[in-house]
Amino acid sequence: MSTTGPYTVVVHPFESETRGSCGYEIGPTSARNALVVIGGLTDGPQTVPIVRPLAKHIGEDNNLDYSIFEFRMRSSFIGFGQSNLSNDVADISAFVKYLRGLSKEKIVLMGHSTGCQDCMEYTNYEKHGNEPVDGFILQGCVSDRETLDLIMSDPEPSLALAAKMIAEGKADHMMPKDMLPDVLGAPISAYRFQSLAAKGGDDDYFSQDLDDETVKKFWGRFNKPVLVMHSGNDEYVPQRVDQDASNRRYQAASPFVSPLSGLIPGANHAVEQPEAQQWFAVRVAEFLKTVN
């Protein structure tokens, strides 16, 4: 399988709250197991660069039997600004249910960027009643709240406006464009901006200033193996943030965090460097062999 040029996917229509929802499979349709990729803000099927190199490497490993799936959610592309993590969990769960109907034996979720928040939220089975999975991979798990340091000179006025709108019953109303960072490139509701940007927001899973009790509560929900991979040269991480320390903190917080976790050498946020993609693919394959 080439990692450049045209390529073939198998389209899987399935039932969910997303209109016309479909999954897209890369690799052998006879595979017994599924690796489901969940992208970040503005991502959707076929936008995460690591997917094709990963599919190639996994497909060439005779000791693995996985195909890779991407799928469309309500929050895909610019829909994230009007959605939330609970919707994502429901959409992911609907796809997992579909894959179980295809008799997939092991299903592993791989979150990229904000997809990592989806994975964290997905572990709250008691809250959501969602379909269980067999493992997780978190790549590029960064704090959107900390990233604001890099993309907004002063987020406080925007946070104050979002709080005011929510208090007035306008949580689902859109924030004014001039109160949002241009890089997000989408209409964003007052609720979703607060969720991403405020301390204790629903998306606030990875900030360094979270106390130990909160970190242990979040990571204590895992009951299946999880591989946590930070990008070594992540452009969305402020210099004051020690990613290596964060990774070690997560490993200490749960026995289910794999000792294979760590930093991807030379990788930017989306792992676009060929050497980093190959390194990451090898590490993922090694981890998948530990998922029972």
Per-residue pLDDT at 146 exceeds 70: yes
Q: What is the pLDDT of residue 5?
A: 84
Q: What is the pLDDT of residue 144?
A: 95
Q: What is the pLDDT of residue 279?
A: 98
Per-residue pLDDT at 26 exceeds 70: yes
Q: What is the pLDDT of residue 2?
A: 61
As a whole number, the mean pLDDT across the chain is: 96
Per-residue pLDDT at 274 exceeds 80: yes
Per-residue pLDDT at 120 exceeds 80: yes
Q: Is the pTM of this model over 0.85?
A: yes
Cα separation, 156 vs 19, in Å, equals 36
> What DSSP string runs through 79-114?
GGGG--HHHHHHHHHHHHHHHHHTT-S-EEEEEETH
**pLDDT (tens digit, 9 = 90+) per residue, 69-115?**
999 999 999 999 999 999 999 999 999 999 999 999 999 999 999 99
Q: Which residues contact 165 (CB under 8 A, 6 or more apart)?
A: 171, 173, 175, 190
How sure is the predictor about 184, in pLDDT bands with cuts at 50, 70 and 90? confident
Per-residue pLDDT at 185 exceeds 90: no
**pLDDT (tens digit, 9 = 90+) per residue, 205-253?**
999 999 999 999 999 999 999 999 999 999 999 999 999 999 999 999 9
From the list 195, 242, 182, 197, the residue with the least C-alpha distance to 88 is 195
Sheet holding 262-264, edge to edge: 10-13, 22-26, 66-71, 33-38, 107-112, 135-139, 226-231, 262-264
How many of the other CB atoms lie within 10 Å of CB of 246? 22
Per-residue pLDDT at 153 exceeds 90: no
Per-residue pLDDT at 121 exceeds 80: yes
Q: What is the pLDDT of residue 244?
A: 97
What pairs with residue 139 in β-bridges? 112, 229
Mean pLDDT of 137-154: 94
Per-residue pLDDT at 280 exceeds 90: yes
